[in-house]
Amino acid sequence: MLTTEMNTTRLIEEVRDEVEAARARGLRVGCVPTMGALHEGHLSLIRRARQECDYVLTTIFVNPTQFGPSEDLSKYPRPLETDLSLCREEQVDLVFHPDESTMYPPGESTVVDVGGLDSIWEGAHRPGHFRGVSTVVAKLFNIVWAHDAYFGQKDYQQQLLIRRMCKDLCLPVRIQTCPIVRDPDGLALSSRNVYLSDEERQSALALSQSLKLAREQLAAGKEPSAVRAAMLEHLNGTSNVAEQYATVADAETLEELDHVRSEMVALVAAKVGSTRLIDNELISLE
């Protein structure tokens, strides 16, 4: 480790100086990009980075361009002091928490579009979302210049898209995807879970339950179309839940499947009350 004290900065130049110094010392640099409101899912990424890298950097930035006009940008939780304490406990070396005007200065006009993957599933339900994601992640990677960057499988399509972007733009960073962290009852951790009432939180279990259904039915030999119908039925049969999509797709292309493949992913998105949640599960048939 380069430092025993955690540093924090809002400044691009400071990040560059710190990272370049670390790299010059031969240290392996790991980056965990987040929007803050850190939970055990994020912490699992930081711990993995801490295991694999010598210098760990977390970015905290609620990226406005990945929120739609009717989404929850203004109410998205921003508990910065708590987040910094958590990072300190996990022995993060540097937290970069830029202001909006640092990431999007006046006059900026450049976007990164990944194409293909950006217009289906999450992309179809959240127009412009992935443009916001790919653009801000490209900026962050150009600022941070990490060897490795850690993303959660929870945002399955996002990590695929970022892998595609890095490959296509020749960004010299290795993308590492880490398993979904769940509460004991199966609910995938999300910064948005804080919006749920007690009753909604119970209803929200329908998402992970529908994935379990998919796994069991595919293992039992059912075709993806029948499995999708069962997932939808389960979601729509749960009070407070309005399904947005539920599908079994190719794990690489996210193409919806008619027949089983060796590597599949079950994807689900639903509104629970007014809170939009997503979940997924990788399914391999032997």
- Give the whole-angstrom CA distance, residue 64 versus residue 73: 7
- Give the whole-angstrom CA distance, residue 139 versus residue 85: 25
Q: Are 38 and 97 in contact (CB under 8 A)?
A: no
Q: How far is the CB of 249 from a copy of itself (least distance, A)?
A: 17
In this structure, is the dihedral angle defined by the CA atoms of residues 70, 267, 194 and 176, taken in order, positive or negative?
Answer: negative
Which residue of the set 42, 97, 129, 234 is catalytic? 42
Q: Are 156 and 267 in contact (CB under 8 A)?
A: yes
Q: How far is the CB of 21 from a copy of itself (least distance, A)?
A: 13
Binding mask 12-31 for a copy of itself (x = CB under 8 A): x---x-------x-------
Per the listing, tokens 């999509």 go with 245
- Residue 117 touching a copy of itself (CB under 8 A): yes
* Radius of gyration of the chain, Cα coordinates, nearest whole angstrom: 19
- Give the whole-angstrom CA distance, residue 142 versus residue 138: 6
- Residue 269 touching a copy of itself (CB under 8 A): no
Q: Are 238 and 245 in contact (CB under 8 A)?
A: no
Q: How far is the CB of 73 from a copy of itself (least distance, A)?
A: 21
- From the list 36-44, 132-140, 182-190, 231-239, the region that binds a copy of itself by CB under 8 A is 132-140
Q: How far apart are the first and last CA of the chain?
A: 42
- Residue 171 touching a copy of itself (CB under 8 A): yes
- From the list 120-128, 140-148, 213-221, 255-263, the region that binds a copy of itself by CB under 8 A is 140-148
- From the list 70-78, 147-155, 165-173, 199-207, the region that binds a copy of itself by CB under 8 A is 165-173
Respond yes or no: is residue 42 known to be catalytic. Answer: yes
Phi, psi of 95, deg, nearest 5:
-110, 125
* Binder of a copy of itself out of 3, 85, 142, 262 (CB under 8 A): 142
- From the list 46-54, 70-78, 102-110, 180-188, the region that binds a copy of itself by CB under 8 A is 102-110
Name the residue nearer to a copy of itself (CB basis): 169 or 260: 169
For helices 224-236 and 205-219, angle between their N-to-C axes, nearest 10 degrees: 160
- Give the whole-angstrom CA distance, residue 151 versus residue 86: 18
- Residue 267 touching a copy of itself (CB under 8 A): no
* Binder of a copy of itself out of 69, 70, 105, 221 (CB under 8 A): 105
- Residue 88 touching a copy of itself (CB under 8 A): no
- Give the whole-angstrom CA distance, residue 109 versus residue 65: 12
Name the residue nearer to a copy of itself (CB basis): 112 or 257: 112
Residues annotated as catalytic (active site), given as ranges: 42
